[in-house]
Amino acid sequence: MNLPESYIPILLQAGVAIAFVAVSLLGAHFLGPKQKKGNSVKNQSWECGVPVEGNARTPFSIKYFLTAVLFVLFDIEIVFFYPYAVNFREFGMEGFLAVLMFVAIFFMAFFYVWKRGALDWDK
């Protein structure tokens, strides 16, 4: 087999990752807790020692999911600022104006979401 020497570190890392996964799964299987047969009280689901009330399929408000998506959206915006922060001197005025336009677009999106009431929990 004639592999270039530059592939050896990649193959070594892949081998270590596969070995780690295999050892973790086998260790969890052999060292982890075993399922015991219990009585009907022990087999019931519970949360923090409090008996379960209601159905687990209770629908959530769409506001919860909308807020989560908005958080991810605005969090990703911060990731795009990192290259600018590292290289802001090399970008010059053109880079500065590009970042200002990027920020302006996100502020417009933020104000749109705000005016539409997506950030109001009372509605």
pLDDT for res 22? 97
Note the pLDDT of residue 85: 81
Question: Considering only CA atoms, which of 52, 50, 69 is closest in space to residue 118?
Answer: 69
Whether the per-residue pLDDT at 123 is higher than 70: the answer is no
Domains of the chain: 61-123 (1.20.58.1610)
**pTM for this entry:** 0.44
Whole-number Å distance between alpha carbons of 62 and 6: 50
Q: State the chain's mean pLDDT as an integer.
A: 82
- In the predicted structure, residue 76 carries a pLDDT above the cut 80: yes
Q: Is the pLDDT of residue 28 over 90?
A: yes
* 121, 63 Cβ separation under 8 angstroms: yes
